[in-house]
Amino acid sequence: MISAHEVAISTYLTALPEQQRHVLSRVRELMKAHLPTGFEEQFGFGMICYVVPIARHPTTYNKQPLMYLSLGAQKHHCALYLMCASVDREAMALLEAGFARHGTRMDMGKACVRFTNYEAVPWDAIAALVARYSVAEWIEITEAARAQR
């Protein structure tokens, strides 16, 4: 049986312009290949999200599953939201080093890597960040960050 999330993701991808659909589909496969066991793919906030299921961690501040990363298309670019890069300085340093090795400029907000061209991103560094934390570690990191606020 196909889940509602799978239908929503398929509908979302189908509605995108061909170039963005192609890029996001490639990134999605990479994310799924490196995502640690226990995280789930869902559709939420208008994006493809990878989350800690609410059944595993029900005490989130907004009653939504705990976000690990998400992937979406914006008007002029695609975006990969790497929450780990915003709460872990070492993860951000690894990402910056990956872009430096790749020889491309990092276009990033607080946790959002923006890109228009698949080849302009060091996907090996991104894959390492995606695989970096187990569900238990991610819960611990986000709870510690929330306690510091």
Which parts of the chain register pLDDT below 50?
Answer: none
Whole-number pLDDT of residue 133: 94
- Packing angle, helices 18-34 and 123-130, rounded to 10: 50
pTM above the 0.85 mark? yes
Query: Which one, of 44, 40, 45, lies nearest residue 57 by Cα?
Result: 40
Whole-number pLDDT of residue 89: 85
CA gap 18, 25 in Å, rounded = 10
Q: What is the CA radius of gyration of the chain?
A: 15
13 phi and psi angles, rounded to 5 deg: -65, -40
Whole-number pLDDT of residue 78: 92
